Amino acid sequence: MSNVHVMNHPLIQHKLTLIRDKETGAKEFRELVEEVALLMAYEVYRDLPLEETEVETPIGKATCQVISGKKIGIVPILRAGLGMVDGMTKLIPTAKVGHIGLYRDPETLEPVEYYCKLPPDIHERDLIVVDPMLATGGSAAAAVRFLKEKGARGIKLVCLIAAPEGIARVRGEHDDIDIFVAAVDEKLNSHGYIVPGLGDAGDRLFGTK
C-alpha cells in the first residue's frame, strides 16, 4: 500500500507559506522551492542504507558509518520539477538526474509527454520523482507508469502541495510507492488548479506569466 507522508516540520511549513504568497517574486520563489526540496530530501533519504568504515581523527581511530553504494536517481517532471532538483542533489551530489517532459492538456487536463531522457541504469537506482504540484495526479501517475515500463523499481514521489484527488489517483494506480508532500490542500478548482495552492508553479518559477 502506498504511504503518504505529510511533512509538517516548522521550517518546511514556514517556507511553504512564503511560497504560496502571491507577492513572492520569481527569484525568492525559486530559492524557497529549492530550500523546501532540500528539507524534504532530508526525510525522503531517511532509509538510505549505511555501512561501517574507519577514519583517523586527530585523536585516534573512529568506527563510523557512510551511505553504502545505493544509487539514486532524481527525476523532475518538466518544467516545474526542475525547481526541486538542486535542493535534492545538494544532499546527494552523486545522484543522476533524468528528465520527463509532460504538460497538462488544458482541455482534458490529461498529461502529454514531450521529452524523456533517463540514466541508462534506472532499474538499478532508487528513483525520486519530483514535481511541486500534485493536482489531478495525471502527470505524476503517468511519470511513474513510464518509469515502471522502463524497468524502474523503488520509486518515491515528492511534491510540495497535493490535492486529495491527486493523492487518490496516484495511490489508485501505484499502490507501491511512497508519496511525500508538505501540504494537502482542500480541492481542485474547475481548471484543475489546487485551491488554495500556490498558482501555476512553472509560471512562478520561470516568470512566464
Per CB under 6 A, residues contacting ligand URA are 80, 133, 135, 192-194, 197, 200-202
Separation between Cα atoms, residue 209 and residue 205, nearest integer Å: 10
Residue 45 grid cell = 533519504
Give dist(CA 144, CA 130) in Å, integer. 11
The bridge status of strand 194-195 relative to strand 96-97 is: unpaired
Minimum distance between the CB of residue 196 and ligand URA, rounded to whole angstroms?
Answer: 9
Residue 150 beta carbon to ligand PRP: minimum distance, rounded to whole angstroms: 19
Residue that is written with C-alpha cell 561501517 in the block: 52
- Given ligand URA, ligand PRP, none, residue 197, with its beta carbon under 5 to 8 Å by kind, binds ligand URA
Q: Is 131 a catalytic residue?
A: no
- With binding defined as CB under 6 A, does residue 192 bind ligand PRP? yes
Residue 98 or residue 137: which is nearer to ligand PRP going by CB?
Answer: 137
Query: Where do we find the cell 495525471?
Result: 138
Catalytic site residue from 108, 175, 176, 208: 108
Closest distance between ligand URA and the C-beta of residue 80, in Å? 6
Q: Which is nearer to ligand PRP, 51 or 107 (CB)?
A: 107
Q: Is 104 a catalytic residue?
A: yes
List 39, 77, 88, 179, residue binding ligand PRP (CB under 6 A): 77
Which lies closer to ligand URA via its Cβ, residue 72 or residue 182?
A: 182
Burial class (CB in 10 A: 0-12, 13-18, 19+), 154: middle
Conformation bin of residue 193: beta by default, left when phi > 0, alpha when psi is -120 to 50: beta
39 binds, among ligand URA, ligand PRP, none (CB under 5 to 8 A by kind): none
Residue closer to ligand URA, measured from CB, 34 or 126: 34
- Quote the distance between the C-alpha of residue 36 and its chain's center: 10
3-state secondary structure of 87: helix
34-to-11, 113, 134 alpha-carbon distances in Å: 13, 25, 17
Known catalytic membership, residue 17: no
Phi/psi-derived region of residue 137, left when phi > 0, alpha when psi is between -120 and 50, beta in every other case: left
Shortest spacing between CB 176 and ligand URA, in angstroms = 24
Q: Provide the binding-site residues for ligand PRP, judged by CB under 6 A.
A: 77-80, 102-104, 109, 111, 131-140, 166, 192, 200-202
Catalogue the active-site residues. Answer: 104, 108, 200, 203
